[in-house]
Amino acid sequence: MIRVNLLPASRETVPIFGAHLDRRLMRDAAGGVAFLCIVSAGTYGVQELRLTALRAEAGRLERTVDSNAARRRDIAAGAAQVARLEQLEREADARRRSGNAVAATLIDIGNAVPARVWLDGIDRSTGGFVVTGAATSLDDVGATLVSVERSMPGYAPALASVTREDKSAVLHFSLQLLEPGPPAAARANGVRQ
């Protein structure tokens, strides 16, 4: 036989501020509040642990960024140095090639001079070369001018001066050789074509 008490349990009340509250309900409410406090404290603790770990990671990343700033400056300085050296290499290469072109031009000038004429000097000037030399006659000076013009297409040779030594058969002359490019008048006026 099973005994069952179907009568309602008697209420135990606790008087608080003139109100009579059920003790069992108060106990259940207190347990719920305690459970919420424990869960909140646990959640807060877990969040604090995560925040501490994140702060540590953020500090480590900041230190890495700071240490990499010096490396970035070194790399930027190295890149600037490399760019400057590459520019110097390009300029040196252009100068080496231009030296070859000038040497070839000097050889062409020397080869164009007739046998009865000798050169005193070849000087680089603005827009070309100034060639000085000596000959025994005006015909030889004229032959030099024609020979240089034929052997150096594109250059515009012009007789700059001819002088004779006192009581001598030697004529000193000067030729102006203008490099190929815009006409001399346009170059003098700064006009480009």
The strand order across the sheet containing 156-164 reads: 118-125, 128-135, 171-178, 156-164
Calculate mean pLDDT across residues 16-43: 84
Do 92 and 131 lie in a common domain?
A: no
Statement to judge: residues 164 and 182 lie in one domain:
yes
Which one of 58, 92, 112 terminates a domain? 112
Identify the domain boundary among 56, 86, 112: 112
Residues 64, 100: one domain? yes
Domain region containing 156 = 116-188
- Between 67 and 10, residue with greater pLDDT: 67
Per-residue model confidence (pLDDT) at position 10: 62
Asked if residue 100 is part of any domain, the answer here is yes
pLDDT exceeds 80 at position 15: no
pLDDT value of position 193 = 38
Rounded to 10°, the helix 138-151/23-112 angle is 140
Q: Classify residue 32: in a domain, yes or no.
A: yes
Q: Among 58-72, 102-116, 173-187, which is the least confidently predicted range?
A: 173-187
Residue 182 has what pLDDT? 55
Instruction: Please indicate, yes or no, whether residues 82 and 31 belong to a single structural domain of this protein.
Output: yes
**Rg of the chain over all Cα atoms, to the nearest angstrom:** 52
Q: Mapping DSSP to helix (H, G, I), strand (E, B) and coil, where does residue 29 land?
A: helix
**Residue 4: inside a domain:** no
> Are residues 72 and 148 located together in one domain of the fold?
no
H-assigned helices in the chain = 23-112, 138-151, 184-188
What is the average pLDDT across 119-139?
87
139 and 94, same domain (yes or no): no
Instruction: Answer yes or no: is 15 within a domain.
Output: no
Q: What percent of the chain has pLDDT over 90?
A: 22
Give the domain CATH number at 143: 3.30.1360
Pick from 112, 147, 176: which residue ends a domain?
A: 112
Q: What is the pLDDT of residues 67-95, one digit of tens each?
A: 888 888 889 999 999 999 998 888 887 76
- Per-residue pLDDT at 184: 47
User: Are residues 27 and 98 both part of a single domain?
Assistant: yes
Whether residue 103 is found in the same domain as residue 75:
yes
Q: Give one DSSP letter per residue of 59-76, joined into a string.
A: HHHHHHHHHHHHHHHHHH
pLDDT higher at 49 or 101: 49
| Residues 143 and 155 occupy one common structural domain | yes
Overall pTM surpassing 0.85 (yes/no) = no
For residues 94 and 140, membership in a common domain is answered with: no
Q: Are residues 160 and 81 in the same domain?
A: no
Same domain, 104 and 139: no
